[in-house]
Amino acid sequence: MTDAHLRGDELIARRRLAAPPERVWAAFTSPTGITAFWGGSHATVPSGSVTVDLRPGGEFALDTRAPDGRTHRLRFVYVRVTAPHELVFDEPATGLRTSVTLRPAADGTDLTVHQRRLPPELRTAQAVDGLAAILDALAAHLRQPGPTPAPDHVTTEQP
């Protein structure tokens, strides 16, 4: 179960995942993985809409499609990429910064998603529920059988 809460202009979510950090990393950094879980229960991510340039200064982008068919393009720029432990990325449109931290646990991975500088329109219970739903969808995706990729030992930071 995902524990998510607001603290001022921050949204913090934690979840224990039954998969090794390398597999969780692959879900967060591959177009196939992002497509599988990013929309949570409130949207879908159309196949082929995800692009990933996994390096500081690189960006990833995706479309989300709401149940009514409306599509919204999201774009993020990587600040720090430390495989398979930490991703930090910014959303240029809002200034939102997201840190994804993966820590090995005895039975999988402890995941923390920490969003800072939330704009006022995202400081809502709906945003909390949305992030929790995304992490619930990630957990469901990781329960499906799949290979564990070899870790990509990249440690870089944008200047």
**pLDDT exceeds cutoff 50 at 148:** no
The tokens describing 88, both together, are: 């930090």
**pLDDT exceeds cutoff 70 at 111:** yes
**pLDDT exceeds cutoff 70 at 155:** no
Domains of the chain and any CATH numbers: 3-144 (3.30.530.20)
Please report where in the chains the tokens 């529920």 appear, as a residue.
129
Task: State the pTM of this model.
Answer: 0.89
Q: What is the per-residue pLDDT for 41?
A: 84
Give the integer Cα–Cα distance in Å for 103 and 121: 31
Mean per-residue pLDDT of the chain: 91
- HSE-CB for 70 with a 13 A CA cutoff: 4
Q: Where are the alpha helices (DSSP H) in the chain?
A: 21-29, 31-37, 125-143
Please report where in the chains the tokens 């959303």 appear, as a residue.
91
What average pLDDT score do residues 95-104 get? 97
Q: What is the per-residue pLDDT for 147?
A: 55
**pLDDT exceeds cutoff 60 at 153:** no
Residue 38: CB partners within 8 Å, gap ≥ 6? 45, 50, 62, 64, 134, 137
8 A C-beta contact, residue 135 and residue 12: no
Confidence of residue 42 (pLDDT cuts 50, 70, 90): confident
Of 24, 45, 25, residue with least CA distance to 36: 45
Of 89, 90, 49, 95, residue with least CA distance to 73: 49
Looking at residue 57, its amino acid is G
